[in-house]
Chains A and B, each alone.
Chain A
Amino acid sequence: MNGWGFSVRQVVSLAARVGALALVFALFALLVPEGRFVDVRNIENILVQSAVVSAAAIGATLVIIAAGIDLSVGSVVAMTVVVIARILRAAPHDPSALWALLAVLGGVGAGALVGLINGALITSLRIVPFIVTLGTLQIVRGLGKGLAGNAAISAPETWINPMLDSVRQQPWRWIQLPPGVWLVLVLALLTALMLRYTVLGRHIFAIGSNEKTARLCGVSVWRTRLIVYTLAGLFAGVAGVLQFSYIGLGDPTTAVGLELAVIAAVVIGGGSLMGGEGTISGTIIGALIIGVLGAGGVLMGWPKWIQEVMTGGIIVAAVAIDQVRQRATLR
């Protein structure tokens, strides 16, 4: 440990991940003709296309560090999108900025509520998180469809829509990146600080590494778990806001299977499904690697199946390399 509280192992792990991202990026930079891949516009596109997965993956990182899993993420995103569209449509005239804020809070609140229910079911019924969230995956997807009246809801334009649009033609272009991307970066930073410097952060690692020991040391396991799942729901809600901004309508069938991309981002980022391991920075890099592959594949004109095979390969390779490296450091 040095003065900042980073171990050598953590620094090496992060460096390896930054290296992997740089490698994949450099590969496409070389392969894609005329330097199109390193174009500012393309980098902006990759950031925008990774925003939804990143936002949800911040919450999933907390859950996975605490040795849990949340499969309801995609359904929560769909539910959020529907709640936002419903509230916007309920406005008497064109919804004002304040009304749009209400819609966003309603959407994120719905997400947090689902997270709280996940946490409450897991702690009170003592059913493993995989089963509980497998159940809420279906329940929340169904409720979302019901709330939408089994139809995609169109919604009037508000400030939510341009959240992921380019700002380079706007008077406030000095912010450089779309506001939605900044939102994800700020949330990632805050969560990383929380994990590293607060009691809650240490408790999350503690129950993930060894629940019994944590309990013996006086950590309130159920309370920590409740907070973790509520936060995961909240971040899925934020991902839902960004998804609404991206697709522009309350489609209850959106984000099917998103949970798998989210878990992939965490795992590529060094999170262990056994708990006790994972970083926010790693997760964001994991989401970006998936994003770079998606954009790079299309820019190369590769068919979709090649992109799928490559993403899968990288998931397995990332974990395999991690384990080899860990055994080497332990020796």
Chain B
Amino acid sequence: MRRSTLALVLVSALLGACSKAPTQPSGSSGDARTSPRPAEKMKLGVIAKGTIHEFWLAVKAGAEAACKEEGVEMLWDGPSTETRHDEQRRILENMVSAGARGIVIAPTSHEALVRPVQNAVDAGVPVVVFDSNLDGDAYVSFVATDNRAGGKLAGKAIIDRTAGTPQRLLMLRYTEGSGSTRAREAGFEEAVAEAQGPQLLESQFTNGTTEGAIDVATNMLNRYVVNGKLEVEGMFAANLPTTIGMMRALDRLAKQGVAVNVVAMGFDSSEELINGLKGNKIQGLIVQDPYGMGYTGVRTMLAHLRGQDVPKYIDTGVTLVTLPDLDRPEIRKLLGLKD
């Protein structure tokens, strides 16, 4: 009995400490406007959708560089998978409690993160959104790739390169809830609709993992094999895991003895995908500027904290990379390749 009372006291003390924390930054954010370089290092929270894939590591490198230039301490984290909205919310709340002056976040869901972001803003911690959009307008600025334009760029490139064929196309989508990939998929569909000739035979969602993407791509492609020949001329995948899945499934089909002649283009890059470009297993990659996104996201947040006006939307650009481009220095920098 006595033990449980002690536990109760401890728990309530802890709860008290927690609920007090979020009010601290709201009081001190005013100082940041007047003195850009406070004596104590300012903390900034940067939250990605994941921490594993090379894309997010590049975002981290960019954000880190900007923080270093400005003498700011970076708190970096992300959920274990890109569909764990609850985990991302906890990270956001904990960073506010830890005294972050501002949050730079790539929301895992354009809906689920609206309230947590609103709560942070209400507590006096401004939020810059990057990579994936967020509903409402509680945030300061949205720093991202124009994903629709990226999907359209891929669609046009595939249609150009398959001119003179029946132009039967497939699309490997990511997950239902991911805003950035839905926009790319819509952009691709737009390019197909505008060109009029080509037809999109089918598109399927995946479960968000690399292995799931390989499964779905393999089974989908299998439907279009006629007499040992793949009757598809172009294929698009919406992000890193789906692009890897598409590449491996096409490779598998070729190894099974099927005649494969597809212009396959995906989104984002990794060591494996660059090797795929070199080995002609994939014909093009739409590359974003994750380093620039992390860098610009942090710089935008700091500019806002200094009281400067920042644009509501900043486009960090997309680039189509094909095999010959791999020698160009600006492309190598974008891909994070050494010279």
Chain A residues proximal to chain B, CB less than 8 Å: 36, 39, 41-42, 44-45, 49, 52, 145, 148, 150-152, 154, 162, 165-166, 168-169, 243, 246-249, 251-256, 294-295, 298-299, 301, 303-304
Contact = CB atoms under 8 A, between A and B. Distances in A.
A129 B320 CA distance: 52
A247 B220 contact: no
Choose among B205, B214, B270 the residue with the greatest number of A CB atoms under 10 Å from its CB: B214
Interface stretch (B1-9, B52-60, B122-130): B52-60
Contact of A299 (B207, B222, B258, B272): B222
A247 B214 contact: yes
Return the 3 tightest CB-CB contacts between A and B, nearest first: A298-B219, A166-B256, A154-B271
Contacts of B252: 45, 165-166
A199 B49 CA distance: 51
A151 B54 contact: yes
Given A150-B51, A166-B255, A246-B214, A41 B222 contact: yes
Interface in B217-254: 218-220, 222-223, 225, 244, 248, 252-253
B209 interface: yes
Contacts of B205: 303-304
Interface in B252-293: 252-253, 255-258, 270-272
A151 B52 contact: yes
Given A41-B256, A44-B256, A166-B252, A247 B210 contact: yes
Choose among B52, B207, B258, B272 the residue with the greatest number of A CB atoms under 10 Å from its CB: B52
A168 to B, nearest CB: 5
A169 to B, nearest CB: 5
Given A151-B52, A168-B257, A253-B50, 19 more contacts: A36-B225, A44-B256, A45-B252, A145-B52, A145-B80, A152-B54, A154-B271, A154-B272, A166-B252, A166-B256, A169-B255, A169-B256, A247-B248, A249-B272, A252-B52, A253-B80, A294-B219, A298-B220, A301-B202
Nearest to B220: A298
A49 B253 CA distance: 14
Nearest to A247: B210
Nearest to A40: B256
A248 B222 contact: no
Contacts of B51: 150-151
B315 interface: no
A304 B215 CA distance: 12
Contacts of A166: 252, 255-257
B204 interface: yes
Contact of B207 (A148, A154, A304): A304
B216 interface: yes
B225 A251 contact: no
Contacts of B271: 154
B86 interface: no
Contact of A49 (B218, B223, B258): B218
Given A248-B248, A301-B202, A255 B211 contact: yes
Contacts of B24: none
Nearest to B271: A154
Interface size class of B (residues with CB under 8 A): 35 or more
A154 B210 contact: no
Contact of B53 (A42, A152, A256): A152
A166 B222 CA distance: 14
A251 B223 contact: no
B119 interface: no
Interface in B196-211: 202, 204-205, 207, 209-211
B210 A298 contact: no
A41 to B, nearest CB: 5
18 contacts: A39-B222, A42-B222, A45-B222, A49-B218, A145-B52, A145-B80, A151-B51, A151-B53, A152-B53, A247-B211, A247-B248, A253-B81, A255-B211, A256-B81, A294-B219, A298-B220, A301-B202, A301-B204
B216 A298 contact: yes
A294 B52 CA distance: 27
A248 B51 CA distance: 19
Interface string B294-323: 000000000000000000000000000000
A186 B94 CA distance: 50
Contacts of B209: 253-254, 256
B207 A248 contact: no
Nearest to A246: B211
B101 to A, nearest CB: 25
Given A49-B218, A247-B210, A298-B216, A41 B57 contact: no
A45 B257 contact: no
A307 to B, nearest CB: 10
A252 B252 CA distance: 24
A52 B270 CA distance: 25
A248 B211 contact: no
B52 A253 contact: yes
A252 B50 CA distance: 12
A52 B55 CA distance: 27
Contacts of B211: 52, 243, 246-247, 254-255
Nearest to A253: B52
A189 B257 CA distance: 30
Nearest to B50: A253
A301 B204 CA distance: 8
